[in-house]
């Protein structure tokens, strides 16, 4: 592991430019994102166009043959040095992340720590050839070969972790990688690209910033072999359609409406302390946050009262607040969407356990909303059917196992789901019936670089991370060797 002195320091307050061929690259036009805690404009960033995309893809394509020719161990060495360089600049990255994403200190620090560990642990993974048959006459082997130029289209909610979580597997398997950050959170990505330019050979890792028109330029480009997209299901469908014209490989990690089912044998005081953060982390702006909470009717009232107290204890504050747990909604577009959901409270006469419709406050800046729990709304309510992606959620009663499984599965989404019980065998049996890419017993939103995650149904296609995720960056090749003519 290198020391901080081994890596040049990056300026995190100016000079935000694209990284193309390991060089800073400006554009004639620029744009600015907004600090969601203050609504103030942040730094100017490039507004990339077709010429910038063409140049970056051309450079990545040219770098691919030499990069894929390296061994896994050699490519892993680059990733290890990259993780060290990120860690040497972690304080500057954290300050930037708190500004662009509105994250309180604990959330920003946690994202960076996990992201750095993710790069290091991913570098330890290896895909081995699968020997299918080996007889005196012939040998059959399945190999996994890099695809070429890969593009990661990254969302605004976890811009560092989700970006590095695609970069690491892509380059480890021998692909070259172009990072397209969200227009709402481009800053950490550009600086991570600047750090990468100190580590990787030219063209292996590049970063391009732009507006909503940039993604379609990559999905249409004939020399891009793979798109890995994380975002909403609606946008994921558009990405899938766009990739069809050139038959690109793709991975889609999309929205979720995760259900959590609570049996009546749990220790209520313990469980609410765990579920509270898993439901409201990053103000509900995580695809794998708990979005629907089904509580057995025997403990419903006790559970709801205790859960309300936990949520009331969460301090709301702006990016960089050392005491805050909940920050703002990350951008105005999402803020207005979630406010529209809050407006249903009065219209539909939902019972509010805590929180409620936001009160307009003259002169108050920031996209803040009160953490809100809706008490047992109808199953066809918007708050149950839709993914809020904000700090509001329903708590619902259940009594029959078959019924609660049907209700939990009654959604187009299938990202994650959890079951909570002191009877592990019973909980596992029910969890196996849930239609989701990840299930947990007595936890939720538990992740590892070694374990794939992704969704069923409208929550995605393919999976990220782990060996399964690595294989998603590879073309599968069947190799036959005839030993005797």
List the catalytic residues.
253
Give all strands of the β-sheet with 138-146 in edge-to-edge order.
130-134, 138-146, 474-482
3-state SS assignment for residue 93 = helix
Q: CA 477 to CA 469: how far, in whole Å? A: 17
320 touches 29 (CB < 8 A) = no
In this structure, are residues 93 and 160 in contact, taking their beta carbons and an 8 Å threshold?
A: yes
**What 3-state DSSP class applies to 338?**
helix
Residues 6+ apart with CB under 8 A from 1: 80, 84
The whole-angstrom separation of Cα 94 and Cα 85 is 14
Q: Specify the 3-state DSSP secondary structure of 271.
A: helix
Q: What's the rounded Cα separation, in Å, for the pair 190 and 20?
A: 11
DSSP structural state of residue 9: P
Supply 467's token pair: 């060996």
Cα–Cα distance list, 169 to 28, 151, 281, 418, 483 (Å): 33, 12, 26, 27, 35
Handedness of CA 186, 188, 192, 194 (dihedral sign): positive
- The values of phi and psi at residue 352, to 5°, are -100, 120
Place of tokens 């997209």: 229
Which phi and psi (to 5°) does residue 340 adopt?
Answer: -65, -35
Would you say 155 and 187 are in contact if contact means Cβ atoms under 8 Å apart? no
Least Cα distance to 184 among 81, 329, 300, 386 occurs for: 329
3-state secondary structure 111-164: HHHHHHHHHHHHCCCCCCCEEEEECCCEEEEEEEEECCEEEEECCCCCCCHHHH
Q: Residue 74: count other Cβ atoms within 10 Å of its Cβ.
A: 10
With beta carbons less than 8 A apart as the criterion, state whether 374 and 383 touch: yes
Residue 405 burial (10 A CB sphere; 0-12, 13-18, 19+)? buried
Specify whether the CB–CB gap between 445 and 286 falls below 8 A. yes
From the list 171, 1, 145, 98, the residue with the least C-alpha distance to 320 is 98
């Amino acid at each position: 592991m290198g020391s901080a002195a081994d890596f040049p320091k990056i300026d995190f307050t100016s000079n935000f430019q694209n990284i193309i061929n390991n060089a800073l690259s400006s554009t004639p036009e620029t744009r600015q994102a907004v600090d969601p805690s203050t609504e103030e404009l942040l730094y100017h960033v490039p507004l990339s166009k077709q010429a910038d995309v063409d140049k970056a893809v051309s450079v990545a394509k040219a770098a691919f043959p030499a990069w894929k020719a390296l061994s896994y161990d050699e490519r892993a060495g680059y990733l290890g040095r990259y993780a060290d360089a990120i860690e040497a600049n972690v304080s500057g990255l954290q300050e930037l992340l708190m500004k662009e994403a509105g994250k309180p200190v604990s959330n920003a620090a946690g994202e960076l720590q996990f992201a750095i560990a993710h790069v290091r642990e991913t570098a330890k993974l290896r895909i081995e050839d699968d020997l299918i048959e080996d007889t005196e006459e012939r040998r059959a082997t399945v190999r996994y070969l890099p695809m070429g130029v890969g593009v990661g289209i990254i969302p605004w909610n976890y811009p560092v972790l989700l970006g590095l979580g695609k970069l690491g597997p892509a380059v480890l398997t021998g692909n070259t990688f172009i990072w397209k950050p969200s227009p709402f959170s481009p800053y950490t990505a550009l600086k991570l690209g600047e750090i990468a330019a100190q580590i990787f050979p030219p063209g292996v890792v590049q970063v391009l910033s732009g507006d909503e028109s940039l993604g379609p330029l990559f999905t249409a480009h004939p020399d891009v072999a793979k798109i890995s997209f994380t975002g909403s299901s609606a946008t994921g469908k558009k990405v899938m359609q766009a990739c069809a014209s050139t038959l690109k490989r793709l991975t889609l990690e999309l929205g979720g409406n995760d259900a959590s089912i609570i049996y009546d044998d749990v220790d209520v005081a313990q469980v609410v302390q765990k579920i509270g953060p898993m439901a409201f982390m990053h103000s509900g702006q995580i695809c794998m946050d708990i979005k629907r909470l089904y509580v057995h009717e025997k403990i419903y009232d006790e559970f709801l009262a205790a859960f309300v107290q936990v949520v009331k204890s969460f301090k709301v504050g702006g990016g960089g607040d050392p005491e805050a747990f909940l920050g703002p909604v990350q951008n105005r577009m999402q803020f207005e969407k979630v406010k529209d959901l809050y407006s249903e409270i009065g219209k539909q006469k939902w019972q509010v356990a805590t929180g409620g419709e936001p009160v307009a406050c003259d002169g108050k800046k920031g996209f803040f909303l009160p953490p809100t729990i809706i008490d047992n709304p109808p199953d066809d309510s918007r708050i149950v059917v839709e993914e809020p992606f904000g700090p509001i959620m329903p708590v619902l009663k259940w009594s029959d196992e078959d019924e609660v499984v049907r209700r939990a599965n009654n959604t187009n989404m299938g990202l994650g789901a959890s079951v909570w019980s002191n009877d592990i065998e019973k909980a596992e049996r029910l969890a196996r019936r849930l239609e989701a890419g990840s299930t947990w017993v007595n936890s939720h939103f538990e992740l590892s670089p070694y374990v794939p995650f992704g969704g069923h149904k409208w929550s995605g296609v393919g999976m990220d991370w782990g060996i399964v995720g690595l294989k998603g960056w590879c073309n599968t090749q069947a190799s036959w060797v005839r030993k005797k003519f």
